Amino acid sequence: MSSAFPEIYLVRHGETEWSLSGRHTGRSDIPLTANGEEAARKLAERLAGHAFSAVWSSPSARARKTCALAGFGSAAVIRDDLAEWDYGAYEGVTTKAILAERPGWRLFRDGCPNGETAADAGARADSVIHALREAAGTILIFSSSHFLRVLAARWLGLPPQGGAHFVLDTASISVLGYEHDLTEPVIRRWNQR
């Protein structure tokens, strides 16, 4: 399924101990597991044959390592606005543990104490989208789950909270693009493993 319009390839980083255990990993630099490294290496063959006008990565070590193992490390431009959601007081904590103390809590609705709200992550996503549309090329992005989910929601014109409806596995590839013209942003593929 190819397109005459620019496409944005989104890659979630490979598995870490914290992603495996469900701990919120925002700004902590948790290394990839051996499985995460292997999945990152396999991204190279999955992305082979695509020509990218630019490669952008979150500053996190897990995103940069995934990018490097996939074969794009030397081309990557590190962008701070691609960083994962800042979980503040919930950094390293599982949703189950948060819900035990704060029943009914939802990340995309409630945000995190001393961290970001969905609107904060949405503002960063809007900055990235502005840069993507100005670049007008096919771009490869390495980042983290919750931020990429907000980016997808904002790409479609949904509020940042709309990211709650998109799930991403580690080392997955998703593609944003357009349908009939540049005024019709769409999700062309999602969460491919």
Which residues participate in catalysis according to the annotation? 13, 84
- The position carrying tokens 């630019």 is 54
- Tell me how far CA of residue 164 lies from CA of 23, 118, 150, in angstroms: 17, 10, 8
The answer to whether 29 touches 63, Cβ cutoff 8 Å, is no
Chain centre to alpha carbon of residue 119: 16
- Tell me how far CA of residue 191 lies from CA of 10, 28, 76, 106, 114, in angstroms: 9, 24, 22, 22, 30
Query: Which residues have C-beta within 8 Å of that of residue 136, sequence separation ≥ 6?
Result: 6
